[in-house]
């Protein structure tokens, strides 16, 4: 199933996407819906509405944790000319960074090196703490699409990546969560990025160094993962920063991020604006 978070009649609510219709859910959060699915319980169904009458938001609750993994594809490791990591490289994104699947990406005036990174997002379906790989695989609730838009100039200021990875209102997520009953916990999926229709990234998730289950197990060694938490699992080769010469995003360009059997994000880049709250979370 496609589990989404939509804005309908001014309110954000979980929902199911059913072709040209949306079925509202009578649950308080994406996390609670995922917990019901994981336990085999029926979802409490609400009204069925036309798809065009609701806006798709990022399918993540305001209080969910959002982790990202750096340097997790062999092809990206090769283009970046960096050694294979011994453990998953983990960093976080703050809620104000996240936007919906069709929202504008706000390019900051302070960076001229904003880059793209198509990533498979793994969504936690069960609470997880100090889990082994098998337990982590069973805790996967589904998958979503992420583009880890990054300011490369800020990313290299220090050893920590937080400034370059937390541009306000820059990271599209969605358009929904495809639940794990439709995909293998370690899926073989094509992922791609297009900029103004031109293919920039074209890879497969089987190129990952650490699998989704290995990543979740590692994170669970030091923090409890809850239903609804998301981990973006790294990007393949083709980022603009590694091109010769380097290429970056500019105003009015359109960024399309696609993962096979999951979905597509389509986001226009705009500049010169500042927001107090990311639109995906309002």
pLDDT digits (tens, 9 = 90+) for 2-25: 999 999 999 999 999 998 999 999
| Domain boundaries defined on the chain | 60-281
- pLDDT digits over 70-85, tens only? 999 999 999 999 999 9
Please indicate, yes or no, whether the overall pTM of this predicted structure exceeds 0.75.
yes
For residue 213, the SS3 value is helix
Calpha distance 267→43 (Å, rounded): 31
Alpha-carbon gap, residue 3 to 199, rounded angstroms: 28
pLDDT of residue 278: 47
Q: How far apart are CA 264 and CA 146, in angstroms?
A: 9
Q: Tell me: the pLDDT tens digits for 191-208? A: 999 999 999 999 999 999
Angle 194-198-201 (CA atoms, 0-180°, nearest 5)?
A: 50
Nearest-5° Cα angle at 97, 55 to 4 = 30
φ/ψ (deg, to 5) at 52? -70, -5
CATH code 3.90.850.10 for 60-281? yes
pLDDT digits (tens, 9 = 90+) for 136-188: 999 999 999 999 999 999 887 777 788 889 999 999 999 999 999 999 999 99
Contact in structure between 212 and 233 (CB atoms under 8 Å) = yes
Maximum Cα interatomic distance, the chain, rounded to a whole number of Å = 53
For 43-86, give the secondary structure using H, E and C.
CCEEEEEEHHHCEEECCCCCCCCEEEEECCEHHHHHHHCCCCCC
Name the β-bridge partners of 12. Answer: 7
């Amino acid at each position: 199933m496609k589990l989404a978070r939509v804005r309908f009649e001014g309110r954000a609510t979980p929902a199911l996407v059913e072709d040209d219709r949306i079925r509202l859910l009578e649950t308080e959060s994406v996390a609670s819906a995922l917990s019901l699915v994981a336990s085999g319980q029926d979802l409490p169904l609400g009204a069925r509405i036309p798809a065009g009458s609701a806006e798709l938001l990022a399918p993540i609750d305001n209080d969910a944790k959002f982790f990202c993994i750096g340097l997790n594809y062999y092809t990206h490791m090769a283009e970046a000319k960096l050694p294979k990591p011994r453990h998953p490289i983990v960093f976080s994104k703050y809620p104000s960074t996240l936007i919906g699947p069709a929202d504008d990406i706000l390019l900051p005036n302070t960076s001229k090196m904003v880059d793209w990174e198509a990533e498979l997002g793994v969504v936690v379906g069960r609470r997880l703490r100090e889990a082994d790989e098998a337990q982590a695989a069973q805790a996967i609730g589904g998958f979503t699409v992420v583009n880890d838009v990054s300011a490369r100039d800020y990313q290299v200021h220090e050893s920590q990546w937080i400034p370059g990875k937390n541009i306000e209102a820059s990271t599209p997520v969605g358009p929904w969560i495809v639940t794990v009953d439709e995909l293998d916990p370690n899926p073989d999926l094509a992922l791609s990025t297009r900029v103004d229709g031109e293919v920039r990234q074209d890879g497969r998730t089987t190129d990952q160094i650490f699998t989704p289950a290995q990543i979740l197990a590692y994170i669970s060694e030091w923090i409890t993962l809850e239903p609804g938490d998301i981990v973006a699992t790294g990007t393949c080769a083709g980022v603009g920063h590694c091109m010769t010469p380097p290429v970056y995003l500019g105003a009015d360009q359109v960024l399309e991020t696609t993962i096979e059997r999951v979905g597509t994000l389509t986001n226009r880049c705009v500049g010169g604006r500042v927001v107090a709250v990311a639109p995906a979370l309002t």
